[in-house]
Chain A
């Protein structure tokens, strides 16, 4: 069974600094997608970034980037120049490409931004 693990229940960072959130996953599949979702206090789930497993290049979206290590089954999220609006719960998620496209989520990391 596929599992996703986020080992950091809480993280904090000073505004304008960089923070990295960790995620590891377990799968026997070779083709899959990985995602980071942000959940602010409004409860809305917002897609931050996604990575296709067959692409070696790490995905980047503005201040957000990932470090994807397929062999190690690791998918960390780096937030540069942290802003107060980045404060939220962050969830790592996984889905296979073939078959039923069920999202499997990690437990979440609560990120606090200190002004």
Chain B
């Protein structure tokens, strides 16, 4: 089925470890983004990309790194995990035309990754 695929679904890390959360979409969406969801705070934007080779920071980028080498993939890297990064992470994608959102098509979300840092 077409959509956004996130792996893994669950992960436990020790403080200081690094890891990569994977996100892939097969809808040829130009726009991809990463959010973290914490209780009482909704979803907050970490990083986003409007196309291959283009990334930018969102609201809470510290401790995370991204790259966009292909249209399909947008991995999120935790450089040195901290307990404050315990959260649920969502990848989302949508069509865009340059910098103009085609919001009528909506945003497609992955099923999320629950990350615990101990």
| Chain A residues in the interface with B (C-beta under 8 A) | 4, 6, 9, 33, 35, 42-45, 47, 50, 52, 91, 93, 95-108
Hey, which chain A residues are within 8 Å of B117, CB to CB?
Answer: none
Per the bound structure, the CA–CA distance linking A43 and B37 in Å amounts to 10
Whether B48 and A45, one on each chain, are in contact in the complex, defined by CB atoms closer than 8 angstroms, is no
- Asked whether A103 and B111 contact (CB < 8 A) given A91-B42, A97-B100, A98-B99, the answer is no
Whether A100 and B99, one on each chain, are in contact in the complex, defined by CB atoms closer than 8 angstroms, is yes
- Asked whether A102 and B42 contact (CB < 8 A) given A43-B88, A47-B106, A47-B107, the answer is no
Stretch in B13-21, B65-73, B74-82, B90-98 with 4+ CB within 8 Å of A: B90-98
Per the bound structure, the CA–CA distance linking A44 and B3 in Å amounts to 12
For the complex with contacts A35-B106, A101-B96, 10 further pairs of A-B residues with Cβ separation under 8 Å are: A33-B103, A43-B88, A43-B111, A44-B109, A45-B109, A50-B106, A99-B99, A103-B33, A105-B35, A105-B42
Q: Number of contacting residues on B, CB 8 A? A: 29
- Asked whether A43 and B112 contact (CB < 8 A) given A100-B48, A101-B31, A105-B42, the answer is yes
- Asked whether A9 and B40 contact (CB < 8 A) given A43-B112, A98-B99, A101-B103, the answer is yes
Hey, which chain A residues are within 8 Å of B33, CB to CB?
Answer: 102-103
Whether B88 and A103, one on each chain, are in contact in the complex, defined by CB atoms closer than 8 angstroms, is no
- Asked whether A102 and B107 contact (CB < 8 A) given A9-B40, A43-B88, A107-B40, the answer is no
Per the bound structure, the CA–CA distance linking A46 and B85 in Å amounts to 24
